[in-house]
Amino acid sequence: MNIVHLAPFAFSPKATVSARILPMAAALARRGHTVTVLIPPYDNPADDGKCWERDGARVENVSGTGGQRSGAGLYVRLARRLAGRARALDPDVIHVFKPVGVAALAMWLLTFQPSTQKPRLVLDNDDWEGRGGWLDVNPYPPAQKLFMQWQERWALRAAPHVTCASEVLVERTRRFRAARRRSADDIHLLPNGPDEAMRAQVAQAQSWREALRAQFGWRQPIAIYAGTIPLNHDLDIAVRALQRLPGARWVIIATGDGIASLRRAIAFAGIADRVEWHDFMPHAQLVERLVAADIAIYPYRDTNINRAKCSGKVMDYMACGKPMVVSDVGMNRAYVAHERSGLLTPPGDAEAFYAAMKRLLDEPAFAEQLGHAAQQRLWAQFGWTERIGALERIYAAA
C-alpha cells in the first residue's frame, strides 16, 4: 500500500511523532509498504521544508511557517499544504493523527474539497483533547477552545475508522460516534509500541553503562524522569518522595510549560542541589542516560488526561530495562505488571510512591530483575513487528 501519515505538529520537542507515528511508519515500511509522514513544523520552524528518510519511511516537513509558531492564518496555510501534498502522493489510505489541530483541519479539507476521488481516511486519537481534558488545562483563547471542541467532535464522528491509544479513548470515541449512530466496529484499540531502532541503541549503551555513569559524573543512586512537563504536571509527588531519599540524585530531561513551577517546588523542598536538569536531547543520548540511571519514575494523579494516556516515556523506560515506579492509572497497568515488571502505586499517593522508590534503591537485585522483565514484556507484547498486521487490517478495511 501507499500510505500517508499526517502528523499534528513537529518531530520535536513533543513526542507524538517520534513515539507513536514513526514506529508505526517504520514497521509498515519493513513490511514493504510505501510510507510518507507529512509534518506541519509550526512549533519547530527550523525544520521548515526539511525531508529525510527514517527506517524506510520518508519524513517531509511542509514549508510555509515563515518563522511563525502560532496563529489561525499559519494553521490554515499549513493544513492546506498538508492536504495538497497528501493528495499529490495519491495514497491508498491517509492516517490523520489527533482529532484537533492542523492535521485534523487538513482532514476536513480532504473530506470536503472537490476531488475526483475521496481519500480513504483513518483518524488516530491518542489524548483526551476536549472538555474535561487538555482543553481545560491549556490556556487557549476562548474562540480557539470553542473551535477545538467542535473540531474534536466532528473528526471523531466523521472518520470512517478511528484508532485509539487507550481503552478510555475507545470508550470516549464510542460515545461521540453513538450520537451519529456510527458503528463501534470501526473503533480500534492500538496502544503505543517501541521504536525498533531502540534495540540496538539500548544494547550499545548497556555495554558501556559504567563508563557512561563515570562520564556523567553519577556517583549517587540516580532516579530519572524523561518527557514533557505540562502545566498540570504531577511531579510534586516525586518531589516529596525525593525529599525523603537524601542519598539519591534526580535527573530530569524535559521540556514543557510546567518546568518553571517544578523548579519552584524543587527549590521550596530544599533538594535543588540534588537535581540535574537537561533540555530536549536526541533520542540516542536520552537512551544512554536512561540505561545509566538506576530507576525511572513517573507519578500520576487520577484525571481524565492520565486515564486516557498511553505513555511513550513508560515504553522508553521499559525498552531500556529500567526498574520503574509509575502510578496505577489508565494504560500503565496494561504495560506494567506490578512486582513483576515494575512497581505500580495508587494515583496521587506520595507516601506509596516514596516507599516504592526506596524499595528499588534498597534492593538492587530485585530492581534489576524487574527491569529485565519489563524489557522482555515490552518487546513480546507491544513491539510493532508483532502487531503491525492489526494496523494493516484497519487500512484494508478503510
DSSP string, 269-298: HT-GGGEEEE----HHHHHHHHHHSSEEEE
| Among 172, 144, 20, CA closest to 74 | 144
Q: What is the predicted pLDDT for the residue at 183?
A: 65
Question: Do 198-382 and 2-194+383-397 have the same topology in CATH?
Answer: yes
Q: What is the predicted pLDDT for the residue at 28?
A: 97
Fold for the domain defined by 2-194+383-397: Rossmann fold (3.40.50)
Those residues whose C-beta lies under 8 Å from the C-beta of residue 162, and which sit 6 or more positions away, are 122, 123, 124, 125, 156, 173, 177, 186, 187, 188
- Three-state secondary structure readout of 60-74: EECCCCCCCCCCHHH
Euclidean distance between CA atoms 294 and 345, whole angstroms: 18
Q: What is the predicted pLDDT for the residue at 114?
A: 67
C-alpha cell at 112: 470536503
Question: Whose grid coordinates read 473551535?
Answer: 147
Euclidean distance between CA atoms 111 and 121, whole angstroms: 9
Cβ neighbour number for residue 252 with a 10 Å cutoff? 21
Domain boundaries, the chain: 2-194+383-397, 198-382
- Alpha helices, DSSP H only, in the chain? 22-30, 72-88, 102-112, 134-137, 142-158, 167-178, 198-207, 209-216, 236-243, 259-269, 283-292, 304-308, 312-319, 332-335, 350-362, 364-382, 384-397
DSSP code for 17: I
Query: Phi and psi of 305, rounded to 5°?
Result: -60, -45
Q: Decide: 259 and 228 in contact? Cβ < 8 Å.
A: no
What residues of the chain score a pLDDT lower than 70? 114-117, 180-184
Return the half-sphere exposure (C-beta side, CA atoms, 13 A cut-off) of residue 93. 26
Q: Which CATH architecture has domain 198-382?
A: 3-Layer(aba) Sandwich (3.40)
* Rounded alpha-carbon distances, angstroms, from residue 222 to 216, 226, 277, 336, 354: 11, 13, 13, 21, 14
Q: What is the pTM of this model?
A: 0.93
Q: What is the predicted pLDDT for the residue at 116?
A: 61
Euclidean distance between CA atoms 301 and 308, whole angstroms: 12
pLDDT tens readout for residues 246-298: 999 999 999 999 999 999 999 999 999 999 999 989 889 999 999 999 999 99
